[in-house]
Amino acid sequence: MLSARAAAASQSHAASLWKRGGGDAGGGSGCTSCMEVRRRAASVAVRAAPPKRVEAVAMESAAETAHSDKEVALTDGAADEDSPPEPEEELPVTPWAFSVASGYTLLRDPHHNKGLAFSEKERDAHYLRGLLPPAVVSQELQVKKIMHDLRQYKVPLQRYVAMMDLQERNERLFYKLLIDNVEELLPVVYTPTVGEACQKYGSIFRRPQGLYVSLRDKGKVLEVLRNWPERNIQVIVVTDGERILGLGDLGCQGMGIPVGKLSLYTALGGVRPSACLPITIDVGTNNEKLLNDEFYIGIRQRRATGEEYHELMEEFMDAVKHIYGEKVLIQFEDFANHNAFDLLAKYSKSHLVFNDDIQGTASVVLAGLLSSLKVVGGTLAEHTYLFLGAGEAGTGIAELIALEISKQTNAPIEECRKKIWLVDSKGLIVNSRKDSLQPFKKSWAHEHEPLTTLLDAVESIKPTVLIGTSGVGRTFTKEVVEAMASFNERPIIFSLSNPTSHSECTAEEAYNWTQGRAVFASGSPFDPVEYNGKTYVPGQSNNAYIFPGFGLGVVISGATRVHEDMLLAASETLAEQATQENFDKGSIFPPFTNIRKISAQIAASVAAKAYELGLATRLPRPRDLEKYAESCMYTPIYRSYR
Ligand SMILES: O=C([O-])CC(=O)C(=O)O
Ligand SMILES: [Mg+2]
């Protein structure tokens, strides 16, 4: 947040622009400090406004400053000390004029709108009198009303659309609702409903919620990024839409995923909404259905590949660094295997990058395994692991398990990998297949006779842990699960593919086919299951437990790179949060209701690791990192604009 002086300075900048401005809202590159003005002073580029309204902005900014909490102070500090270098070239003068967010405009500004919660005094001060019905209500009552409305919708997609509308109308209320009702609303704004939303994104599209960078923008990506109205971005989630959850290529409509992930960054991890930037890279789609869909929102061509693809990605990555500096966390999300590993390997040398599907999923599953051990006994090294699916999630998890075993036993990583077996669409990954394997699978090719089915692999390897990351539903058949139950007292079975319809088996199947003995977790949520008079509450092994806290830890420490030890630290911290009470109910994860506390703990351990590794740049190191993380978290309580 700007200091009062800076706000006033910004305001005079706004005012002078107002004098200079030509009128209409529109695109075009924005002067970066004007972007600040737009956000900080709640200005909206619409039309020239009378000077007295400009004063109202200054008052509002001052009020916001007065109410600024640590969440804001942190970003201010960051902006002062660590502002990314200003671009060297001359910035174009924006043709925009700025009016202020008061009156009617204020009601349509989602960052500041409070609807009926504007007080009498605020209504007087901000030209709202008469624009709202007389009732003044609390934020709590607004939450109650919207939850009541949402529950009237029987179709999940209608709830999703209602939530997106709320986010566009009143951002703080959206986050308050999500935080206060996290268990109920996570499946609405996130998996599974977000999957259906992406499939139908063109039809339900109302307003853009992120930035679209398409092949047509080649050579102009910097300009595209400059059009985004925020300056101090801390986290970007970017997808190219090629592997959305387990649903495959959804092209440009994958945008629902970065939008959803970033709303969890804010709700679960406390990163300010204005510091989050959802991006979709549109290089076309190979999804014929979408190419023929009249409502499709992306470019209508088959996917660009090879040099053309990588040139656009490179231009994008360079532009991000140029505009936002080195400390913006770039989360790669739902890229296809054939790009995900290469992009991560390439850009982890030059950028602060994190692949959620490889690293985030690995970290949450490792946490799930560490707490499963408290239920089934043994050490990580004493178990045998079999995966169905050898893509980003499968190999990412496998590698993190091997790393943790190596850390615990001091054995070489190659030895530790031998405890872990993977099955892909062609069968068990074995040495004799090595030549034809994609590079990221090669380290999992062990000595064994070739086997083509999962059931054969289960019967031959006799794993204690079975993990599904195949993206294909119902592949853990009754025979497979019963085989697991025949040689394990407590088989560990994780069906991780998303959304729910792609889960390798349901929670009910896992409990029924093992007579309630399975230690089960899934990627998407399942309702509690009754079996033999006992209620089982299955845990959700979803990277949503990790990435919000992980990202917060990176941001508060000013880490410049992601290191695998930071992932291990996140896993260990999450594993410590599961209690005997959770185990008794059948879950190896704590409930999402505690997630903000858990995220602060994860952030603290990730930040501590970053300091230990010399990767943190925010100095001095706060003494109590958990308290510091908590104090930095965004809260959606309304501010007073008097
Ligand atoms: O989004 C989720 O629920 C988990 C995830 O990253 C994926 O399945 O790709
Ligand atoms: Mg993903």
Q: Could you tell me the distance, in angstroms and rounded to a whole number, from the CA of residue 543 to the centre of ligand 1?
A: 7
Torsion sign over Cα 518, 519, 521, 526: positive
**Closest residue by CA, ligand 1 atom 6:** 357
Q: Which residue has the higher pLDDT, 179 or 68?
A: 179
Residues contacting 147, CB < 8 A, separation 6+ = 177, 181, 184
Strand spans (E) along 532-608? 534-536, 539-540
Q: Mean pLDDT throughout 145-149? A: 98
3-state secondary structure at position 569:
helix
Q: Could you tell me if the CB of 340 is within 6 A of ligand 1?
A: no
Mutation test residue for ligand 1: of 198, 469, 543, the one with most atoms within 8 Å of CB: 543
Q: Could you tell me the distance, in angstroms and rounded to a whole number, from the CA of residue 253 to the centre of ligand 2?
A: 14
Which H helix or E strand runs over 573?
helix 564-577
Q: Could you tell me if the CB of 191 is within 6 A of ligand 1?
A: yes
* 543 marked as part of a ligand binding site: no
3-state secondary structure at position 108:
coil
Q: Could you tell me the distance, in angstroms and rounded to a whole number, from the CA of residue 346 to the centre of ligand 1?
A: 22
CA 468 to chain centre: 21
3-state secondary structure at position 248:
coil
Asked if 329 and 352 count as a contact pair (C-beta separation under 8 A), the reply is: yes
Model confidence at 92, pLDDT cuts 50, 70, 90, reads very low
According to the model, what pLDDT value does residue 24 have? Answer: 24
The CA radius of gyration of the chain, in Å to the nearest whole number, is 25
Q: Mean pLDDT throughout 91-118? A: 77
Angle between helix 595-612 and helix 625-632 axes, rounded to 10 deg: 120
Q: Could you tell me if the CB of 334 is within 6 A of ligand 1?
A: yes
C-alpha span between 470 and 295 (Å, rounded): 30
**Closest residue by CA, ligand 1 atom 7:** 245
Closest CA to 360 of 602, 197, 597, 634: 602
User: Chain-wide mean pLDDT for the chain?
Assistant: 88
According to the model, what pLDDT value does residue 270 have? Answer: 98
Q: Mean pLDDT throughout 459-464? A: 98
In a 10 Å sphere around its CB, with 0-12 CB exposed, 13-18 middle and 19+ buried, how is residue 603 labelled? buried
According to the model, what pLDDT value does residue 642 have? Answer: 78
Model confidence at 80, pLDDT cuts 50, 70, 90, reads very low
According to the model, what pLDDT value does residue 122 have? Answer: 97
Asked if 172 and 636 count as a contact pair (C-beta separation under 8 A), the reply is: yes
Which H helix or E strand runs over 330?
strand 329-332
* 431 marked as part of a ligand binding site: no
* 333 marked as part of a ligand binding site: yes
Q: Could you tell me if the CB of 167 is within 6 A of ligand 1?
A: no
Phi, psi of 414 (to 5 degrees): -60, -40
Beta partners for residue 421, in sequence order:
386
Model confidence at 19, pLDDT cuts 50, 70, 90, reads very low
* 527 marked as part of a ligand binding site: no
Q: Of the ligands numbered here, which is closest to the C-alpha atom of 544?
A: 1
Beta partners for residue 428, in sequence order:
423
Q: Could you tell me if the CB of 543 is within 6 A of ligand 1?
A: yes
pLDDT tens, residue by residue, 179-202: 999 999 999 999 999 999 999 999
Cis upstream peptide for 273 (omega within 30°): no
Q: What is the DSSP string of 593-624?
A: GGHHHHHHHHHHHHHHHHHHTT---SSSPPSS
Asked if 37 and 43 count as a contact pair (C-beta separation under 8 A), the reply is: yes
Q: Could you tell me if the CB of 357 is within 6 A of ligand 1?
A: yes
Torsion sign over Cα 30, 33, 34, 36: positive
C-alpha span between 96 and 360 (Å, rounded): 41
Mutation test residue for ligand 1: of 244, 263, 356, the one with most atoms within 8 Å of CB: 356
C-alpha span between 403 and 390 (Å, rounded): 17
Q: Could you tell me if the CB of 470 is within 6 A of ligand 1?
A: no
Beta pairing class for 385-388 and 329-332: unpaired
**Closest residue by CA, ligand 1 atom 9:** 245
Nearest atom in ligand 1 to 356's CA:
6
In a 10 Å sphere around its CB, with 0-12 CB exposed, 13-18 middle and 19+ buried, how is residue 313 labelled? buried
Query: Quick check: 28 pLDDT over 60?
Result: no
C-alpha span between 399 and 178 (Å, rounded): 33
Phi, psi of 105 (to 5 degrees): -65, -40
Q: Could you tell me the distance, in angstroms and rounded to a whole number, from the CA of residue 498 to the centre of ligand 1?
A: 6
Q: Of the ligands numbered here, which is closest to the C-alpha atom of 522?
A: 1
pTM over 0.90: no
Nearest atom in ligand 1 to 543's CA:
4
Residue 15 half-sphere exposure toward CB, CA atoms < 13 A:
15
**Per-residue CA distances from 208 to 188, 240, 244, 267, 277 (Å):** 19, 16, 19, 20, 12
Q: Could you tell me if the CB of 242 is within 6 A of ligand 1?
A: no
Q: Mean pLDDT throughout 52-69? A: 34
Beta pairing class for 534-536 and 529-531: antiparallel
* 542 marked as part of a ligand binding site: yes
C-alpha span between 197 and 180 (Å, rounded): 23
According to the model, what pLDDT value does residue 79 have? Answer: 32
Phi, psi of 526 (to 5 degrees): -120, 150
| Residues of the chain by 3-state class (helix, strand, coil), percent to 5 | 55, 10, 40
Q: Could you tell me if the CB of 626 is within 6 A of ligand 1?
A: no
Q: Could you tell me if the CB of 546 is within 6 A of ligand 1?
A: no
pLDDT tens, residue by residue, 238-263: 999 999 999 999 999 999 999 999 99
C-alpha span between 36 and 1 (Å, rounded): 10
Model confidence at 101, pLDDT cuts 50, 70, 90, reads confident
Query: Quick check: 41 pLDDT over 50?
Result: no
Mutation test residue for ligand 1: of 357, 363, 495, 522, the one with most atoms within 8 Å of CB: 357
Query: Quick check: 90 pLDDT over 60?
Result: no
**Per-residue CA distances from 319 to 90, 218, 223, 581 (Å):** 16, 11, 9, 48
pLDDT tens, residue by residue, 409-437: 999 999 999 999 999 999 999 999 999 99
Beta pairing class for 465-468 and 492-495: parallel
Beta pairing class for 420-424 and 427-428: antiparallel
**Out of 55-64, 296-305, 380-389, 547-556, which region has the weakest mean confidence (pLDDT)?**
55-64
Residue at 461: amino acid letter: I
Q: Could you tell me the distance, in angstroms and rounded to a whole number, from the CA of residue 334 to the centre of ligand 2?
A: 5
Mutation test residue for ligand 1: of 188, 191, 547, the one with most atoms within 8 Å of CB: 191
Q: Which residue has the higher pLDDT, 74 or 216?
A: 216
Beta pairing class for 385-388 and 420-424: parallel
C-alpha span between 40 and 168 (Å, rounded): 18
Q: Could you tell me the distance, in angstroms and rounded to a whole number, from the CA of residue 61 to the centre of ligand 2?
A: 38
Query: Quick check: 74 pLDDT over 50?
Result: no
Greatest CA separation for the chain? 81
According to the model, what pLDDT value does residue 187 have? Answer: 98
C-alpha span between 523 and 193 (Å, rounded): 13
Q: What are the tokens at 59?
A: 């008052």
**Per-residue CA distances from 215 to 228, 236, 285, 299, 315 (Å):** 18, 19, 12, 8, 11
Q: Could you tell me if the CB of 60 is within 6 A of ligand 1?
A: no
Strand spans (E) along 189-314? 211-214, 235-239, 276-282
Q: Could you tell me the distance, in angstroms and rounded to a whole number, from the CA of residue 535 to the centre of ligand 1?
A: 27
Angle at CA of residue 293, ends 288 and 294, nearest 5°: 145
Q: Could you tell me the distance, in angstroms and rounded to a whole number, from the CA of residue 592 to the centre of ligand 2?
A: 18
Asked if 122 and 620 count as a contact pair (C-beta separation under 8 A), the reply is: no
* 474 marked as part of a ligand binding site: no
According to the model, what pLDDT value does residue 100 have? Answer: 57
Asked if 4 and 62 count as a contact pair (C-beta separation under 8 A), the reply is: yes
Q: Count, in order, helices (H) and strands (E) of the chain.
A: 28, 14
Query: Quick check: 71 pLDDT over 80?
Result: no
Q: Of the ligands numbered here, which is closest to the C-alpha atom of 187?
A: 1
Q: Does residue 201 come out as left (phi exceeding 0), alpha (psi in the -120 to 50 range) or beta?
A: alpha
Q: Of the ligands numbered here, which is closest to the C-alpha atom of 523?
A: 1
**Closest residue by CA, ligand 1 atom 8:** 245
pLDDT tens, residue by residue, 511-561: 999 999 999 999 999 999 999 999 999 999 999 999 999 999 999 999 999
Q: Of the ligands numbered here, which is closest to the C-alpha atom of 190?
A: 1
% of the chain at pLDDT higher than 90: 83
Q: Could you list the active site residues?
A: 190, 261
Q: Could you tell me if the CB of 245 is within 6 A of ligand 1?
A: yes
Q: Could you tell me the distance, in angstroms and rounded to a whole number, from the CA of residue 460 to the centre of ligand 2?
A: 31
C-alpha span between 520 and 333 (Å, rounded): 25
